[in-house]
Structure 1
Amino acid sequence: MTSNSFLRAARRTATAGAAAFLIAAFTVPSLVSPTVAADGPESVADLAQGLLGAVVNISTSQRVKGTEGPGAVPMPQLPEGSPFQDFFDDFFKNRPGEQGNPSQKVQSLGSGFVVDAEQGIVVTNNHVIADADDIEVNFSDGVTLKATLVGTDTKTDVAVLKVDPKGHKLTAVKFGDSSKMRVGDWVMAIGNPFGLGGTVTVGIVSARNRDINSGPYDDFIQTDAAINRGNSGGPLFNSDGEVIGINTAIISPSGGSIGIGFSIPSQLALGVVDQLRQFGETRRGWLGVRIQPVTDDIAESLGMATAKGALVAGVIKGGPVDNGTILAGDVIIKFDGRDVNEMRDLPRVVAESTVGKAVDVVIVRKGVEQTVKVTLGRLEDGEKLASGENGNADQDNGDEAPAVSAASVLGMTVGELNDETRTKFGIAAEVSGVVITEVAKDSAAAERGIQAGEVITEIAQESVATPKDVMDRIGALKEQGRKNALLMLASKTGELRFVTIRMD
């Protein structure tokens, strides 16, 4: 069946009932021609038939320890020779957790699809096979093959399996380009919902670029094609029979489909699959910065016309840009030729880049746009470094001799950061700046969640070291007609964040 035939058939299927309702209720012109209404919708069987053989059911089993503890019921003590002895032995001693039967086998089902028939490569979701002791791949012709795990990626929920065909001819499908899919395009899902293998459903792309807070690289395709439990890991096809998504999640109060399903776009999944096949693990690019969104207030404070990009809240010590190339307070608006319109765009485009690649990064620093060259590190190598790092870049602390010991500004009382205040608030030795000792209730600072014990390290991207510095910087901003003050704050352990406080 041609692409246009698939599209026409799906369109007729989806609109025929709705058209009948509109005609009856509103007396509008007919939406379906009399010939189509009489003959019924055109079948999509040819397209489905060519794809069913490549879609597999994945069954896993896991040995889990028997239940013990307060909830376990102990075997009653019976007199020797009791006629109930055999009954209680069967009930209690053969339960999971009892001697001789220490564990039970838990099974689950999911979906997947073959992408390489010769090598026996199968793609599915990580959560389908997570913690499994045994994995089996069940094909549409009834053949079942044991599978070994090639690699997994928890960040995108992708897993790659391998089976040995042993003379069994496999059918494979190929990835398409998800970036070409538009809202309203027709799609087909095939999978194993509720254990019912080879189930075909049709719908449209309902939305793109969905962030459902499931991982750092969320960029889901939303579809109304019916996806239920057991569809996880199965393919979402375009009208040409190419995989443009991996069905992963649904929103459903009941556990069944309500027409809101999510698929990992092939544009994201393909690179992960290739790396897992080649290395058994992912090798993502790493910039070595901590970021936060650019709000309207922050944009105004930085002199930016529009709120866009990712604000660098800190630089990881020992990371790729811990050489002054990128500084805390910079706003990244373009990475390697790709626009960074919002914060969540940056981690994804960096991760998709090659480790060791030299890229151009466009930043806004103190209101001036400039381009810097950065050589990327490897995310997996930097994660331990980042987790143990306080994210505080080296700063110019300015004049160390305080002109005043404390000051009150913008609803905050600020003081000198010395041994006494470090001890009082438990502030780490490497943190520098001006300590906030008190925050007035209902003040602008309190509304922004600022708390006593935090340390002001910068105001409007200028370092501060004394209470007088804070007062001078706020005064200078007011003289410039600024409505907001941009503050870089450090937590007690040195974690950095930016906040804006209105000064009117």
Structure 2
Amino acid sequence: MKKIITLLLVSIFGGAITLTSYKVFIEKPNYVVVSENTGNGYFNTSYLPTSAKGAGINEIDFTVAAQNTVNSVVHVKNVSISSGPTTIAEFLYGSGGSQRPQVGTGSGVIISSDGYIVTNNHVIANASQLQVTLNNNKTYTAELVGTDSNSDIALLKIDANDKLPYLAFGDSDNAKIGEWVLAVGNPFNLTSTVTAGIVSAKARDLGGMTNQSFIQTDAAVNPGNSGGALVNTNGDLIGINTAITSQTGSYVGYSFAVPSNIAKKVVEDIMEYGNVQKGILGINSIRTSTPYALNKGINDVDGVYIAGVEEDSGAFDAKLQEGDVLKKVDDIVVHKFPDLVGYISTKRPGDKIQVTIDREGEMMEVPVILKERQTLVIPELGLEVKNLNKEDQKKFKTKKGVKIIGVPETYRGYDLEGKVLLAVENNEIDDISDAKNLFSNISKYSNTSITIINEKGERVRRIFQ
């Protein structure tokens, strides 16, 4: 027994000696030195507070926003009547043809409990009958209240017995790039469909489509979703889904929405005035990517370079000048022209704004009162005209007509610029609105006569073919 105890003690003692020797003589020390380092490391680290749910898509809860939205998004069916030959014989021999109904579909968003619905203008264009189907499959005949083709917004109204679920307009100016959003539509009458994505960009200009400012998102939007809702994770309506860019006609990763602030203003104008009241700043700009901008040294301007100021506009009255660079309007920082367009589109004539400009290196704040558009390019002939001011009325001794301030190359030989256009086809013109309506009704295939007057009071009739 004593031998066993002695052997055990010797083993323990020997193991302790061996471990100590290893730690002291063999093992290399491995220290971590902690010090304050203000220089840049290999990785940049954000020390902003992180949500307890994390930032991954799997941790974000879209269910509340989806539940609050789906019942407020509707299916819109547009029935239009087209006429024309339906057979080869009718086409060749002109035997009348027949009228055929054509059906187009899209989505819409209920914006009031009494049945006002906002959708895209292109969804309801040329409609002879409009039908709206709710998410509960109830169908109603809709009335067209008004449209604005420039913003691609239309307002419908249905009469329902019960109060309807609706979405309130959010503030699209507060939408952030990278913010999660839901695109909710009712395509193909499948009841409301929800897709998720982020805000990819703001103030997007699609070039060929009107002078507009869109919210870009990567939430999947297909043609049947046009007119549907773009909402944030709180369920706030921040846009009306409008367009996609695709060679196939289907979603390929880019979709665009009219910002809610623009849509709201259009809807309010239609309801209050019957048309859209457009406040105009009255400046001309140039694209920074053009050879002209490169030659002028303004291709890298951060802001909107003012290349010209329209006479009798708000900018003209505020004495903005060619060469000024517009940097800010009210609280909105302006980097490019669509930033400015998007904000001005929410304003009306008579609204006062504060613009910040860079004039030869000096920053200036200038108040500007927006006005109605004073100029117009009239259809067919392409003449640019403006309303007469008091000085024009005195100079030409007339209160009627519009002044010709721009002439296309085709008609430069007619000596029109600087004259006052009084009438077209013996119909008197009061202002640019009259000019637009009268020239819209003329045929491009027949002769058109106009009456102009010069500063001497001499009236001349010109005939265009």
Q: Same fold (TM over 0.5)?
A: yes
* SS in structure 2 of the partner of residue 258 of structure 1: coil
Deviations 1:272-299 (A, max 9, x none): 2222222222112112232224579989
TM-score for the superposition, normalised by structure 2: 0.62
The corresponding residue for 2:131 is 136
Cα deviation, residue 50, structure 1: 3.6
Cα deviation, residue 322, structure 1: 4.6
TM-score for the superposition, normalised by structure 1: 0.58
- Asked if residue 54 in structure 1 is aligned to residue 48 in structure 2, the reply is no
- The CA distance in 2 between the partners of 1:331 and 1:43, in whole Å, is 43
Structure 2 unaligned segments of length 5 or more: list them.
Answer: 1-50, 387-408, 419-465
Equivalent of 1:273 in 244, 267, 278: 267
Deviations 1:131-177 (A, max 9, x none): 11111111122211111112212222111111111x13311111223
Cα distance change of structure 1 residues 136 and 304 upon mapping to structure 2, 3 Å threshold: closer
* SS in structure 1 of the partner of residue 266 of structure 2: helix
Q: Mean Cα displacement is larger for which, 195-204 or 228-237?
A: 195-204
Q: Is the 8 A contact 1:294 1:343 kept in 2?
A: no
Cα deviation, residue 63, structure 1: 0.9
Deviations 1:39-74 (A, max 9, x none): xx8985555334322110000111111138xx8325
The corresponding residue for 1:438 is none
The corresponding residue for 1:11 is 57
Equivalent of 1:124 in 119, 124, 127: 119
Deviations 1:2-56 (A, max 9, x none): xx89x879812xxxxxxxxxxxxxxxxxxxxxxxxxxxx8985555334322110
The corresponding residue for 2:39 is none
* SS in structure 1 of the partner of residue 319 of structure 2: coil
The corresponding residue for 1:162 is 157
- The CA distance in 2 between the partners of 1:427 and 1:329, in whole Å, is 33
- The CA distance in 2 between the partners of 1:243 and 1:358, in whole Å, is 26
Structure 1 unaligned segments of length 5 or more: list them.
Answer: 13-40, 77-91, 392-421, 432-504
The corresponding residue for 1:109 is 105
Q: Is the 8 A contact 1:310 1:333 kept in 2?
A: yes
Letter in 1 for 2:99: S
Cα deviation, residue 182, structure 1: 2.9
* SS in structure 1 of the partner of residue 57 of structure 2: helix
Deviations 1:363-411 (A, max 9, x none): 44556554444332113x64469974479xxxxxxxxxxxxxxxxxxxx
Q: Mean Cα displacement is larger for which, 192-201 or 211-220?
A: 211-220
- Asked if residue 377 in structure 1 is aligned to residue 371 in structure 2, the reply is yes
The corresponding residue for 2:88 is 72
- The CA distance in 1 between the partners of 2:109 and 2:337, in whole Å, is 33
Q: How many residues align?
A: 342
The corresponding residue for 1:19 is none
What is the identity percentage for the equivalent residue pairs of Structure 1 and Structure 2?
A: 35
CA RMSD of aligned residues (A): 3.9
Q: Where has structure 1 moved over 6 Å in runs of 4 or more?
A: 7-10, 295-306
* SS in structure 2 of the partner of residue 348 of structure 1: helix
Q: Is the 8 A contact 1:295 1:307 kept in 2?
A: no
Structure number with greater Rg is 2
- Asked if residue 201 in structure 1 is aligned to residue 166 in structure 2, the reply is no
Q: Is the 8 A contact 2:378 2:385 kept in 1?
A: no
Q: Is the 8 A contact 1:57 1:112 kept in 2?
A: yes
* SS in structure 1 of the partner of residue 100 of structure 2: strand
- The CA distance in 1 between the partners of 2:414 and 2:302, in whole Å, is 33
Letter in 2 for 1:319: S
Q: Is the 8 A contact 1:216 1:347 kept in 2?
A: no
